[in-house]
Amino acid sequence: MSTVIDGQWRRQDPKAIASYTILVLAPMVPTIGLMVISGTSIWVMLTTAGLWAAGAAVLAALMGVGWWFTWYRITAERFEMRTGAITRSHRSIPRDRIRSVDLTANVAHRVFGVTAVKVSTGGQGGDSSELKLDALTKEHADSLRQELLFGDSSTVVGTEAPEQEDSSTLARLNPGWLGYSALSVSLILIVWGAIASAFGSFRELLLSAGVFAAVGETVQTTALWLVIAIGAGSALVVGVLGAFALSLEMWWGFRLSRDRGDTLQVKRGLLTTRSISLEERRLRGVEVVEPLLLRWFGGARLNAVATGLKQKKEENQPDNKTLMPPAPRAAVQRASAAVLRESRPPSEVPLRRHPRAALRRRINWALMCTAPIVIAAVVALVLDWVPVPLALVVIAVALLAFLGFAVDAYRNLGHALTDQYLVARNGSGIRRTVVLQRDGVIGWKLSRTFFQRRAGLMTVGATTAAGSSLYEVHDVDESEGLVLAHEALPGLLAPFVERR
- Residue 450 falls inside a structural domain: no
pLDDT score at 368: 94
Same domain for 250 and 322? yes
* Burial zone of 47 (CB within 10 Å; 0-12 exposed, 13-18 middle, 19+ buried): exposed
pLDDT score at 75: 87
pLDDT score at 267: 93
Q: Mapping DSSP to helix (H, G, I), strand (E, B) and coil, where does residue 14 land? A: coil
Same domain for 17 and 148? yes
pLDDT score at 200: 65
pTM: 0.82
pLDDT score at 371: 93
* E-strand stretches of 128-243: 130-137, 168-172
Same domain for 129 and 222? no
Same domain for 183 and 43? no
Rounded CA-CA distance 267/274 in Å is 6
Pairing of strands 78-83, 89-94: antiparallel
Helix/strand/coil percentages in the chain, nearest 5: 50, 25, 25
Query: 41-50, 138-147, 392-401: which has the minimum mean pLDDT?
Result: 41-50
> Among residues 162, 197, 222, which one ends one of the domains?
162
pLDDT score at 411: 95
- Residue 97 falls inside a structural domain: yes
Helix or strand holding residue 53 (H, E): helix 42-68
186-191 mean pLDDT? 79
Same domain for 98 and 217? no
Residue pLDDT, tens place only, 342-397: 999 999 999 999 999 999 999 999 999 999 999 998 888 888 888 888 888 989 99
pLDDT score at 209: 60
102-126 mean pLDDT? 81
- Residue 494 falls inside a structural domain: no
Nearest residue to 421 via CA among 497, 354, 348, 365 = 348
Q: Mapping DSSP to helix (H, G, I), strand (E, B) and coil, where does residue 72 land? A: strand
Percent of the chain with pLDDT over 90: 35
Q: With cut-offs at 50, 70 and 90, classify the pLDDT of residue 188.
A: confident
Structural domains of the chain, count: 3
Helix or strand holding residue 60 (H, E): helix 42-68
Query: 216-225, 320-329, 411-420: which has the minimum mean pLDDT?
Result: 216-225
Same domain for 123 and 270? no
> Among residues 348, 370, 397, which one ends one of the domains?
348
| Sequence-distant (≥ 6) Cβ neighbours of residue 116 within 8 angstroms | 103, 104, 105, 109, 132, 133, 134, 135, 136
Q: DSSP secondary-structure letter at 349?
A: S
Same domain for 128 and 171? no
Same domain for 33 and 143? yes
pLDDT score at 433: 96
376: left (phi over 0), alpha (psi -120 to 50) or beta: alpha
Residue 165 has pLDDT above 70, yes or no: no
pLDDT score at 166: 44
- Residue 199 falls inside a structural domain: yes
Domain limits for position 66: 3-162
65-86 mean pLDDT? 88
**Phi, psi at 275, each rounded to 5°:** -135, 115
Residue pLDDT, tens place only, 296-306: 999 999 999 99
Please give the single-letter amino acid code of residue 180: Y
Same domain for 42 and 177? no
- CA distance readout (Å), 296 to 139, 184, 328: 44, 12, 11
> Among residues 319, 348, 377, which one ends one of the domains?
348
pLDDT score at 201: 60
- Residue 337 falls inside a structural domain: yes
Residue 164 has pLDDT above 80, yes or no: no
Same domain for 327 and 246? yes
Q: With cut-offs at 50, 70 and 90, classify the pLDDT of residue 228.
A: confident
- Residue 472 falls inside a structural domain: no
441-464 mean pLDDT? 93
- CA distance readout (Å), 179 to 173, 237, 325, 326, 333: 12, 13, 11, 9, 18
122-138 mean pLDDT? 74
- Residue 435 falls inside a structural domain: no
- Residue 20 falls inside a structural domain: yes
Q: What is the mean pLDDT of the chain?
A: 84
Same domain for 199 and 341? yes
Same domain for 78 and 9? yes
82-107 mean pLDDT? 86
Residue pLDDT, tens place only, 135-146: 898 888 888 888
Residue 119 has pLDDT above 70, yes or no: yes
Query: 142-146, 154-158, 164-168, 495-499: which has the minimum mean pLDDT?
Result: 154-158
